Structure formats: structure tokens, C-alpha cells
Amino acid sequence: MGFRILKKNKGARLGELKLGGYTIQTPAFVPVATKAAIKGLTAFDIEELAIQILIANTYHLNLRPGADVIEEFGGIQKFSGIDKPFMTDSGGFQAFSLGKGAILGRSKFEYEVENKPTKEASIAKINDEGVKFRSIYDKSEHILTPEKSMEIQHKIGANIIFALDECTPPSADYEETKQGMERTHRWAKECLSFHKKQNKNNQALFGIIQGGLFKELREESAKVITNMAFDGFGIGGSFGRNQMYETLGWLQPFLSKEKPVHLLGIGTIEDLINSIGYGMDTFDCVSPTMIGRAGYIHIRPESGGNKGNKYRIRITNAKFRNDPSPIDKNCDCKMCKRYSKGYLNHLFKAREFSAYVIASYHNLYYMINLMREIRKAIENNRFKELKEKWLG
Amino acid sequence: MGFRILKKNKGARLGELKLGGYTIQTPAFVPVATKAAIKGLTAFDIEELAIQILIANTYHLNLRPGADVIEEFGGIQKFSGIDKPFMTDSGGFQAFSLGKGAILGRSKFEYEVENKPTKEASIAKINDEGVKFRSIYDKSEHILTPEKSMEIQHKIGANIIFALDECTPPSADYEETKQGMERTHRWAKECLSFHKKQNKNNQALFGIIQGGLFKELREESAKVITNMAFDGFGIGGSFGRNQMYETLGWLQPFLSKEKPVHLLGIGTIEDLINSIGYGMDTFDCVSPTMIGRAGYIHIRPESGGNKGNKYRIRITNAKFRNDPSPIDKNCDCKMCKRYSKGYLNHLFKAREFSAYVIASYHNLYYMINLMREIRKAIENNRFKELKEKWLG
């Protein structure tokens, strides 16, 4: 893996990340392919969309089809038919958040820390060894340790893998967050050590900075993690309401020129643009396809997209039933050139699968294209102007 | 509309059907786009697959989004973004079969003929005027008359439309079938008369031959319908178990060289190939996409597909979990060139939307490609050899 920064502008970094035979232009959006597929799309769509890199989910893939199956196929690229670089997460977040057997909203997860039971009986239990959890599929018991996480991710064979971390919930107080962070640091060391021994496929390992809502802890975590021999870093955990930019500000002094930084599970268009201004290089988020399947269609600022409407329309709204205009007349994706709002409204109302395909494709194009515009803006010293255009 | 037969071989007809600016090579398979979309696919897939013509559903489109909306958009092509010729059915079959508010299996429908109630209270009622039914969406009452069917189909604007017919159930006796057939003939005349007055968009109107399981009635219906000024004919209704080929045999003397014949709702690969041997030109069937979504993947004879296994494998079978071989190694569609059985097995097990996309695309390619092979075989006087290869 090689990374270099080509240019900086107003805090934003234009970079180039080399991974195996692939070159990724950063900042880059990393679409989520939880189960080794972007929901509703094919490998052909992924190529058409010029998606540069994807992130798959260690928790889900290890349960189904199993890491061994993917290894037999020669790794996730060969298994999925998607000839693009991949990341995998550590599996920890899902083990915590899905541990109770229910899919809870982001940042709403709770899990049982040793000797500190949550209100509800939880299936996931965490201690220094790792996370014990039950499969959401068949309730079978599993334990995810740093070694196990590395082992699974080595089998899946993504180009970038992540160290196991403890992602403390936003409700955690200072002491709890500190304990979680220290555990994250111990696990980071263990992951590095296992990775060194087992890494056969030239996979890059990223460490994750934790520390929750507390400046002192975030700084400590940044110092500890960036001093380890990771190939890059992830920023994880809770940021609290409106506190993300402050947190990213705390971390800026610790960013390295030689190593890329990945912001885990970024949420909105607004957060994406702003966090690039804090030097973030890559971002993953399930949002474009998830909101797409729910009928939310991203629209560009020229079409009225703004912070207030979250850059989207709800295509199922009755006012679009007779609307022959393109999905977004200012988008140049093939779906917008072909389809009207009225037809897409009909497909959603009729619950046709094609609705999900069209909406997911368009929303991903929108993100990928936004990133292209951002890279161009940084290159031309116009990141500030881009921010003004998009954020008002 | 223009139709001519280029060649005949062993009962099979090679033809050319001109519709507006489009030319369709026959025999042709007509994929079903019930609600103006092939489930899971886009207009781009339809172009890639070289699908020549599609059939949409008058019943569904009239309820959602409404025929008026489609007319406002300038007809079904402009509405759907699919630049291909379309057929629409008359809406009668769904009014009968969905009339009870439940989706019943094919050929299992029952409806209430005037003064002859079925065992269950039915929502659909048929009399000489038309079919009264309730919407499956909101239970609102509708009546479908010959005039209404024409009016709706004129608004939807497909290139080929069908006269309203009464499709008697397979359980119907001679008297009931005869009454249904006679009603079909009266409605056919009415449809023709309305169509002459209202046809602004140069739509072709096909009449439907009924007569159920009875030779005398089938012959009578064929004589009456083929003597009317229709642009082509459909063969509808029940054939009974193993009686389809016999029925098609009865109808052969009535087929015209100048007018195409469409076999409505053909079921299996075997029936498709055989009925081409009885001079059928076009066929619609929901099967490729419907069985595809259920995990059934068509395989070619070279890959072991035969009458016994219905030319398909069930990809969800556990034995495919570790199978790195192509979906069908003898199929040259892009999905088979890219994806393995193991990956598709995984996508189905994980209930990923992409599974339905891949399976539907492949199964449609399979049918379209089979039709290409059949046309080539007729051209080269090798239809018998093709039948032997496929049917054994």
C-alpha cells in the first residue's frame, strides 16, 4: 500500500492511495457491500458507476457464507465477481449492535460490558478477551477476539482490514469510555501482532481511534494508535449530536501525511463535505442505497437540494405521479437521462424491484460524482467555493 | 402492422412482424412487464438482452398509475423509458382471476357466471355487458366492458392490443364453455367496432380464440374469429392437462399466412418449443423472471437441462455453496461469464436484491437466446434436429 497527498486546500486533502494494482483517488466515498454485494446492483453497475473501493461486513460474511467459503474462492473479489479493492470492518460493531438479535438503529446500540448489565438482557457480552455474541441467523454462539477478527479478515482477503475495537455507546460516561478505549488499544496491539505473523496477501491494516465524546480520551487514543505500525487509521465511535466537527478538529494535529484516514459510517452529505475539510480521506456509509430503497432520491443543489431537505426528495410523494421531468434534471447519470419522476413514483407505489435498482444506482452516482467534484475543487483551490455552493 | 412468413419448416414458421418503426423476428418470446417494468430489470437491461417486444398488463396499469397518467406521458414507451414495441392484454383474465382479491395460481381461478355462483362468494361477476370486479388495491368497484377495455388499451398505447374475452375455467363443461365462447365472439365484434372508431395511434388489434377443451368449439371459435377483421390472433383459455398440442393441432388449418398468432401465457420450455412446431409466432410467459426470483436458474441442454428437470437447477441447493463454476458454463450471458453458482447461492441465502436481478437477467437471456436458435434452425431446415437436441 502506498499513500501520498497531492495537494491541500482549506484543510481538505487530495490524495492517491495505491492498493495492489488499484489506484484510488481521495477523498473517496466507499459504498457498503455488506454481504459482498451492493443491494440491488451488479458488478457491472459498480464498474459503470466508477466506484473505486467498497466495504464489506466481516460479521455477516463470516456467518454467511462463511470466511472459509470466501477463502476457497480466492478472496472477496473472486467470490463476488467485483474487481475492485475492498475494505472489511472488524466485525465488532455488528457483534455489539446486532448482539441482541434485533437490528437497532445506528448509535442506539447497547451491549453488556462485563459486570455492568444493560437494562435489557443482552446477547452480546464484552470482556478483555473479546465479544461473545449470538448469530442473528441461527442464534449459534460466537466469540470475536482480536486474533479471530484478523483470521476472518485474512480469509475474506480485502485490501484494507480493520483492527477490532470497542465502540462505546454515546450514553457511556468518561470511565466507561476510557475503559473501552484502553481495551481498543490493547486489541489494536494484538491485532498488529497477529497480522504481522499471518498476513500472506499483502493486506493493509488500519487501527481505529476511539475516545467517544471526550477530548482528553480522543487525543490519547489518536496518539497511541497513530504511534503503532498501522498502514492507516479509522475514526470510530460516537461523536454526539453536533460534536463531530469538534472531535475531528481535536484529531487534526495527529493526522499523518503518509497514512490515509477513514471516517467510519459517516451519515449525511453535509457531514461528508465538512469532514473532508478536516482532512478525512475516505468514508463509508450505507445511506445512498438504504434511503434509495425507501424512496428518497438525492437531488443536486442546482435542483433545490440543500441542508434543510437533506439533498433529497421523497419520490413516493403524490405530487410526482404526473411529473414527466427527469428524476434529477441536473444529474447526468443514465437513470436520470432515461426515467421520469412519474415513472419512478409508479415503480415505488407498485413495489417493483426495479424501483430499488434505479434509486440505488442514482443515489450512488450522486455520491461518487460529488466526490469527483470535491477532488476537482481541491485541485483548483476552490474547496471553499464548493462548500458554499453545497452548504450555503 | 405488416406480417410475412419467410420460411416454414416442420410446421414452424419463421416470420417478420413490422410494428411502427420496429421489426420483430418471429418466433419471438414476449417477456412480461406487468406494471410497465420487467421485475428487477431496467430499460438498459432490456436493450442489452435484445428483447424485441414486451407485454404489459391492462388490469394493473389501469388501477396503478391509471391509464390516463400513461396517456398523459404519451403512451407506455414514453412512460416506461422502454423503447420497444409493447402488447397489452385485455384486462379480462386478471379481472376474473384476481376478482376475489386473492392471487390464485394460473388455471385455478373461478368466477361467478351470471346465476351460477361458485362455491365461494366471488367479487368478480360476469354477464353479457362485461366483468364487474373489485380492485385488489383498494377494493373499489370497476366494470370492464369491451368498449372500456379498448378505451384503456388505447390510452396505454401499446402496439398490439387484445379484444376482451371470457376465459372459461378448465372445470367448465361444454355448455358453460360454449356460452363463454359465444360471449367472447360478441365482445370481439364490439371491440373491433369500437377500435375502428377510436384507433388514433395505429394500434393493431388481436382477437382471441376460445373454446376450451372441446374440438367442436375450438374449431367454431377459430372460424368466427379468423373471419373478423383482426390484425392477428391470440389463442387463449384452458387446454387441459396434456391437451395443448391436440388443441393447437385442431387450430392449424385456420392459421393465416398474413396474420400472426400469439399463444397466451405459455408455460414451459417444452411447451414453447412444441407449440412453435404448430405454427405459433409469439408467446408470453411470466416464468423466466418469476422462477428466477424463486431461485430456479435455467440451464442449457449441454449443461444437463432436460424435460425432466424443466431445464433448471435450484441454485439455493446446499451443494452449490462451494461451487466456483459459472451459473451455466454453456450460457454466454454476461451474468454467467461473471458469476459463480456459489456466489449466486450466497446472494439468495442472504436475500440480497442482486440475486433476483442476476437470476431474472440470466433466465430471460436464456429464453431470448433459445428463440434465436429456433429461428436459425427453421432457416436452416433443422427444426427437427433442434427439437431432438432440446426435447430428447
Are the Cβ atoms of B347 and A42 closer than 8 angstroms? no
Q: Which residues neighbour B214 within 8 Å (Cβ) at sequence distance 6 or greater?
A: B174, B177, B178
Known catalytic membership, residue B284? yes
Q: Is the pLDDT of residue B126 over 80?
A: yes
Categorize the per-residue pLDDT at B105 as very low, low, confident or very high, splitting at 50, 70 and 90: very low
Query: Given this model, what pLDDT does residue A123 score?
Result: 62
Name the amino acid, one letter, at B186: R
- Tell me the per-residue pLDDT of A165-184, one tens digit each, with 9 for 90 and over: 998 877 889 999 999 999 99
- Of the listed B165, B231, B284, B328, which one is catalytic? B284
Using the structure block, give the residue that is written with the C-alpha cell 453497475. A45
Q: Assess if residue A229 is contained within a domain.
A: yes
A391 pLDDT exceeds 90?
yes
Task: Write out pLDDT tens, residues B47-84.
Answer: 999 999 999 999 999 999 999 999 999 999 999 999 99
Chain-wide mean pLDDT for chain B? 91
- Whole-number CA gyration radius for chain A: 21
Confidence of residue B194 (pLDDT cuts 50, 70, 90): very high
Peptide bond into B253 cis (omega under 30): no
Percent of chain A with pLDDT over 90: 82
Helices (H), chain B: 43-48, 58-63, 67-73, 76-80, 92-97, 146-156, 174-198, 215-226, 244-251, 269-276, 287-293, 334-338, 341-349, 353-379, 383-391
Chain B environment of A43 (Cβ under 8 Å) = 338-339
Q: Is B68 part of any domain? A: yes
Whether A337 and A222 share a structural domain: no
CA A159 to CA B215: how far, in whole Å?
A: 68
Q: Are B241 and B262 in contact (CB under 8 A)?
A: no
Assess if residue A23 is contained within a domain: no
Residue B73 lies in a domain: yes
Q: Where residue B267 falls among pLDDT bands split at 50, 70, 90?
A: confident
> Which of the residues of A are catalytic?
89, 284
More confident residue, A62 or A118: A62
Is A76 a member of any domain?
yes
User: Does A216 lie in the same domain as A236?
Assistant: yes
Cβ neighbours of residue B95 under 8 Å, at least 6 residues apart?
A: B59, B124, B131, B133, B142, B144
- Say what the ipTM of the complex is: 0.94
Cα Rg of chain B, angstroms: 21
Mean pLDDT calculated for residue range B237-259: 89
CATH at B237: 3.20.20.105
Q: Which class for A179: exposed (0-12), middle (13-18), buried (19 or more C-beta within 10 A)?
A: middle
- In the prediction, which pLDDT does A388 show? 98
Domain end (from A259, A285, A311): A285
More confident residue, B114 or B226: B226
Least CB–CB distance from B41: residue in A35, A324, A354:
A354
A309 shares a domain with A276: no
Nearest CA to CA, how far is B60 from chain A (Å)? 9
Q: Please check whether residue A330 lies inside any domain of the structure.
A: yes
Average pLDDT over residues A9-25: 97
Same domain, A93 and A217: yes
Number of domains in chain A: 2
Q: Is residue A102 pLDDT above 50, yes or no?
A: no
CA-based nearest residue in chain A for residue B42: A354
A73 contact B CB<8A: yes
User: Is there a single domain that holds both residue A305 and residue A281?
Assistant: no
How much is the pLDDT for B98?
Answer: 65
Distance separating alpha carbons of residues A123 and A387, to the nearest angstrom: 44
Q: Are residues A278 and A211 in the same domain?
A: yes
* Set of cell numbers at residue A377: 475543487
Minimum distance, in Å, between the CA of residue B151 and any CA atom of chain A: 20
Which structural domain range is residue B153 located in?
Answer: 32-254
Quote the percentage of chain A above a pLDDT of 70. 93
| Cβ contacts of B358 on chain A, cutoff 8 Å | 42
CA-based nearest distance B271→chain A, Å? 28
- Do A371 and A250 belong together in one domain? no
| Chain A interface includes B356 (CB < 8 A) | yes
pLDDT of residue A115: 40
Identify whether residues A231 and A370 lie together within a single domain: no
Q: HSE of B33 in the Cβ direction (CA atoms, 13 Å)?
A: 30
Find the mean pLDDT for residues B135-152: 89
**What is the arithmetic mean of pLDDT over B144-168?**
96
What pLDDT is attached to residue B272?
96
Which triple of cell numbers denotes residue A96?
A: 455489539
pLDDT tens digit string along A108-132? 334 444 444 444 445 678 889 998 8
Best residue in A38, A41, A42 for a mutation probing chain B (most B CBs within 10 Å):
A42
B346/A36 touch (CB, cutoff 8 Å), yes or no: yes
Among the listed residues A327, A259, A334, the one whose alpha carbon sits nearest the alpha carbon of residue A292: A327
Burial B171-181 (b: 16+ CB within 10 A, else e): ebeeebbbbbb
Residue B334 contacts A, CB cutoff 8 Å: yes
Q: Is residue B135, in this structure, part of any structural domain at all?
A: yes
Considering the domain architecture, whether residues A133 and A256 belong to the same structural domain is answered as yes
Counting every residue, how long is chain B?
392
- Residue B313 is given by DSSP the state E
CB contact under 8 A, A40 and B342: no
H/E run at residue A357: helix A353-379
pLDDT band at residue B122 using 50, 70 and 90 as cut-offs: low
- CB-facing half-sphere around the CA of A53: CA atoms within 13 A: 31
In a domain, A242, yes or no: yes
Do the Cβ atoms of B37 and A79 come within 8 Å? no
Q: Which of A156-170, A322-336, B322-336 has the lowest mean pLDDT?
A: A156-170
| Claim to verify: residue A278 and residue A341 sit in the same structural domain | no
Residue B111 pLDDT greater than 50, yes or no:
no
Q: What is the pLDDT of residue A119?
A: 40
Distance CA B27, CA A366 (A): 42
The CA-CA-CA angle for residues A316, A322, A325, to 5°, reads 90
Residues A229, A333 within the same domain: no
H or E stretch including B14?
Answer: strand B12-19
Q: What percent of chain B has pLDDT over 70?
A: 93
Measured between CB atoms, which of A60, A81, A343 is closest to B339?
A81
Give the pLDDT confidence score for residue B106 in this predicted structure.
32
A272 and A313 belong to one structural domain? no
Look at residue A160 and give its three-state secondary structure: strand
Region of poorest pLDDT, from A89-98, B24-33, B153-162, B264-273: A89-98
Confidence band (pLDDT; 50, 70, 90) for B114? very low
**pLDDT at B121 > cutoff 70:** no
| Residue B73 burial class via C-beta count within 10 angstroms: exposed 0-12, middle 13-18, buried 19 and up | buried
- The β-bridge partners of B4 are B16
How many whole angstroms separate alpha carbon B177 and alpha carbon A193? 80
Q: pLDDT averaged over chain A?
A: 91
* Residue B141 main-chain phi, psi, to 5 deg: -85, 140
